[in-house]
Amino acid sequence: MTMRARFTLLALAAVLGLGGCVADPAPYDRYYPLTIGDAGRRYGQPLLAGTVEVTNLAAAGLTGDQAILYADGGGPALQQYSYHYWLEPPTVQVRDAVVTALRQSGAAERVITPETRSDARYRITGRLLELRHHRAGADSAVTVGVDLAVVRARDRTTLHVGTYSAREAVGSTDVGAAVEAAQKALTRITGRFLDDLAEAVRAQRRE
């Protein structure tokens, strides 16, 4: 074998060897919106007259982080997905979901967030308690928990306060399916909040 042929074979072997060592593409980050559907409530006239401000929610522990939380096998230990994130901090997205529900239903005359920097007659405050994907095969589910309170700004009188939780089956460990389940659970929560708010307003008017 000539020197040139030997060199060609060595070069080819080196190329083939390098090709076998090529790593898989690195995973890329995915971002998911936490939005709601239509809760199905409609009010002929606003439950709350004037401007209502939905404040930024607080959060319990890691629940406020953008990394999506999960627990394996029904155990209590929580972990964060490495490449799956909420589009914005979940406290912001849950706040915006409450804003959407109030506007869709006509429950409030005008709805703002703190960024508007306007005076408000009522304020809705809250705390995100739970937002996680429970991975347990066919029994996988998502749980969402929120505290919400409606306060009259002038004298800080509480009109309504409630704790809301919802569990939505996923049926798999797929993150995309878990996000859809979280959206459904949050839609149910906003619907129940509107129902309770309507009852609180009716009770106040009867006094």
| Average pLDDT of every residue of the chain | 89
Secondary structure string (H, E, C) spanning the chain: CCHHHHHHHHHHHHHHHHHHCCCCCCCCCEEECCCCCCCCCCCCCCCEEEEEEECCCEECHHHHCCEEEEEECCCCCCEEEEEEEECCCHHHHHHHHHHHHHHHHCCEEEEECHHHCCCCCEEEEEEEEEEEEEECHHHCEEEEEEEEEEEECCCCEEEEEEEEEEEEECCCCCHHHHHHHHHHHHHHHHHHHHHHHHHHHHHHHHC
| pLDDT tens-digit map of 37-88 | 999 999 999 999 999 999 999 998 899 999 999 999 877 899 999 999 999 9
pLDDT at 16: 44
Tell which residue, 146, 129, 125, 153, has the closest CA to residue 192. 146
pLDDT at 24: 66
Residue ranges of domains in the chain: 32-206
How many Cβ atoms sit within 10 Å of the Cβ of residue 8? Answer: 12
pLDDT-based confidence at residue 22 (cuts at 50, 70, 90): low
CA angle, 127 as apex, 121 and 132 as ends, to 5°? 145
C-alpha 171/C-alpha 49 separation (Å) is: 42
Q: Is a pLDDT exceeding 80 seen at residue 12?
A: no
pLDDT at 132: 96
Fold (topology level) of 32-206: Rossmann fold (3.40.50)
> Higher confidence at residue 137 or residue 90?
90
Please, is 154 exposed, middle or buried when counting C-beta atoms within 10 Å of its C-beta (0-12, 13-18, 19+)?
exposed
Record the pTM: 0.86
Helix axes 90-105, 175-206, angle to 10 degrees: 50
pLDDT at 27: 85
C-alpha 202/C-alpha 207 separation (Å) is: 9
Say what percent of the chain tops pLDDT 90.
Answer: 76
- Parallel, antiparallel or unpaired: strands 48-54 and 30-32: unpaired
